[in-house]
């Protein structure tokens, strides 16, 4: 056997040379978040959300189903999915709408709310804080919730900060799962300023350090491509001091900024795909999640309009899932049936093949596909996302893969205590 010729001093020198790079990689790209990710964020203007908001949302969604989709066969025809697949998932969709219609609720004090005088916005911000505090931990409540405040652009900066201050005061602190959506971010400096705002609010409200987290809404050209030609959204993440939990695409502000005509503004437009691809690359392995934007073509009106809205929404949800974006915005309760239908169909339709590939990988069996560890990571992640959202049952996933929960978590690189 031929002996290695390099001495220990060379290995030590290379370790020393790369020590800073190793530390940067470990701290800046710690890996994917292992907690449950909501499949959607439902936006409701803050002045329209009362104490019964969740019951109203669930009832509206179920009423739309009762009026326009009598059974699984009817909704399958509307959205263009296989009858057998929809028949399998439809009972899960109805149960979801009855028990937990909203996974992530965002009370809007920005574009969906508009400009009000200070007294009125203070009143609505306080009501939003009280509502979020009341929802926290209640049965069937969203496991993520928060507010979208006005941006840190000069005309709205003080109002946005003040509203967040009022929300926290009325909530008595930070409700479980609380997050702030920061819109129209145009610079790393705004993210750094938001970190300072969070620190000052934590101090003022007696909160623990790091208690406040925020999402960056990517809806300006400056966030995607900075003046120096780099993707500004990447340094925005790293400037957040670990507080950034998500990048949310803003369909209409971004499309309009690029000159796309109103009739063609869509989260399926090529400019949207480019922006979201940049967001995905910037967020990869940082623990920050990417969420798709909204469609403003809602399933409301007569039967034809509702069904057309459902068909479009289901296609867009599936399109996002196929592109590796597992969360999106909803703007109306009637979109929830197709949000969950498309999501559940995606996971149940893919479960059998994914389980077989993962089982073959785990047993190193001969198969027609040569998978690598990264693919096993993706396959296990697919399964666990399906379990998290209710599309799949854990027992059936474990049986189909031949793995136990610890093994599945291991392939998905999830910490066992962070499920």
DSSP string over 70-135: -SHHHHHHHHT--HHHHHHHHHHHHHHHHH---SEEEEESSTTT----HHHHHHHHHHHHHHHHHH
Nearest C-alpha neighbor of 36 from the set 405, 396, 390: 390
Q: Name the token pair of 359.
A: 């089982």
Considering Cα of 154, then 155, then 160, then 162, what sign does the dihedral take?
positive
The residue whose two tokens read 């940067």 is 24
d(CA 388, CA 378): 15
d(CA 364, CA 196): 51
For 378, half-sphere exposure in the C-beta direction (CA atoms, 13 angstrom radius) is 13
pLDDT along the chain (419 residues), means of 10: 90 97 94 92 96 96 95 96 97 97 98 95 98 92 97 97 98 95 98 98 97 98 95 97 97 97 96 98 96 96 96 98 98 98 98 93 69 87 96 96 92 61
Task: Give the pLDDT confidence score for residue 217 in this predicted structure.
Answer: 98
d(CA 88, CA 186): 45
d(CA 85, CA 106): 31
List 145's β-bridge partners, or say none: 105, 178
Output the pTM of the full model.
0.94
Task: Give the pLDDT confidence score for residue 416 in this predicted structure.
Answer: 46
Task: Give the pLDDT confidence score for residue 364 in this predicted structure.
Answer: 77
d(CA 252, CA 43): 15
Sketch out the chain's domains with CATH numbers.
40-349 (3.20.20.60), 350-414 (no CATH)
Task: Give the pLDDT confidence score for residue 370 in this predicted structure.
Answer: 61
Task: Give the pLDDT confidence score for residue 414 in this predicted structure.
Answer: 77
Rg (Cα) of the chain, in Å, rounded?
23
Instruction: Name the strand (E) or helix (H) holding 199.
Output: helix 188-204
């Amino acid at each position: 056997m031929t002996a290695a010729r390099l001495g220990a001093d060379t290995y030590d020198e290379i370790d020393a040379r790369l020590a800073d790079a190793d530390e940067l990689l470990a701290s800046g790209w710690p890996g994917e978040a292992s907690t449950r990710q909501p499949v959607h964020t439902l936006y409701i203007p803050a002045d329209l959300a009362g104490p019964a908001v969740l019951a109203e949302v669930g009832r509206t969604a179920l009423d739309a189903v009762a009026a326009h989709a009598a059974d699984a066969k009817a909704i399958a025809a509307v959205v263009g999915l296989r009858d057998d697949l929809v028949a399998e998932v439809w009972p899960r969709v109805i149960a979801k709408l009855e028990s937990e219609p909203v996974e992530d609720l965002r009370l809007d004090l920005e574009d969906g709310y508009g400009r009000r005088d200070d007294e009125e916005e203070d009143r609505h911000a306080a009501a939003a804080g009280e509502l979020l505090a009341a929802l926290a931990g209640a049965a069937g409540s969203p496991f993520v919730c928060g507010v979208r405040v006005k941006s840190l652009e000069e005309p709205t900066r003080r109002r946005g900060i003040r509203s967040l201050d009022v929300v926290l005061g009325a909530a008595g602190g930070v409700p479980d799962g609380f997050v702030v959506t920061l819109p129209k971010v145009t610079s790393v400096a705004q993210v750094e300023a938001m970190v300072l705002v969070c620190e000052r609010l934590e101090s003022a409200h007696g909160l623990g350090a790091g208690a406040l987290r925020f999402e960056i809404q990517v809806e300006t050209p400056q966030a995607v491509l900075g003046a120096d030609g780099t993707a500004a959204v990447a340094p925005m993440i790293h400037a957040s001091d670990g507080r950034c939990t998500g990048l949310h695409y803003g369909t209409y502000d971004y499309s309009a900024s690029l000159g796309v005509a109103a009739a063609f503004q869509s989260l399926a437009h090529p400019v949207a795909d480019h922006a979201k691809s940049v967001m995905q690359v910037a967020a990869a392995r940082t623990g920050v999640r990417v969420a798709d934007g909204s469609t403003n073509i809602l399933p409301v009106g007569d039967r034809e309009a509702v069904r057309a809205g459902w068909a479009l929404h289901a296609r867009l949800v599936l399109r996002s899932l196929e592109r590796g974006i597992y969360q999106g915005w909803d703007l109306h309760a009637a979109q929830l049936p197709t949000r969950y239908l498309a999501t559940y169909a995606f996971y149940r339709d893919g479960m059998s093949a994914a389980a077989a590939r993962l089982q073959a990988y785990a047993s190193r069996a001969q198969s027609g596909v040569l998978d690598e560890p990264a693919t096993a990571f993706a396959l296990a992640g697919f399964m666990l996302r399906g379990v998290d959202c209710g599309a799949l049952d854990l027992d059936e996933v474990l049986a189909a893969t031949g793995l136990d929960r610890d093994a599945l978590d291991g392939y998905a690189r999830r910490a066992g205590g962070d499920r």
